Amino acid sequence: MHSTLTEHARCLYGDEYRPTPPCDRAHDEASFIEELTFADAEAILTMLREHCPHLVDGYLPVRIRNLAYRLLLLQRSDEPALMREAADSLRLHGPDWDEIAAELIERAEALEAG
């Protein structure tokens, strides 16, 4: 049984930095997405930091990273550093999200300007 979102992600997707723990539980992405959807900001941030410490690495699928950052920013909408990190992640994973990344940077700058 998984006690954290990070452990659930590690079991489902693997981990570039740690071995996947033995687990007798059946895994499906739908249950992970449900857990991610209702996770608090700290759990989401911990998962991102452990699975993608250098932003360009890790085995989390891009769709899961994008969803994680989206949910994180909904909970912490006033943190420019997180907005920039989410924008960097979007830019690294394809031009489809460049406009959204630019909007996040603009929001971060506006928050910092006061």
Rounded to whole angstroms, the Cα distance separating 9 from 14 reads 7
Residue 95's φ and ψ, nearest 5 degrees, are: -75, -10
Q: Is the pTM of this model over 0.85?
A: yes
DSSP codes of every residue in 36-70: HHT--HHHHHHHHHHH-TTSS-SSS-HHHHHHHHH
Q: 68-78: per-residue pLDDT in tens?
A: 999 999 999 99
**Contact (Cβ atoms closer than 8 angstroms) between residue 13 and residue 61:** yes
Q: 16-26: per-residue pLDDT in tens?
A: 888 877 787 77
Rounded to whole angstroms, the Cα distance separating 24 from 42 reads 27
- Quickly state the pLDDT bin for 54 (edges 50, 70, 90): confident
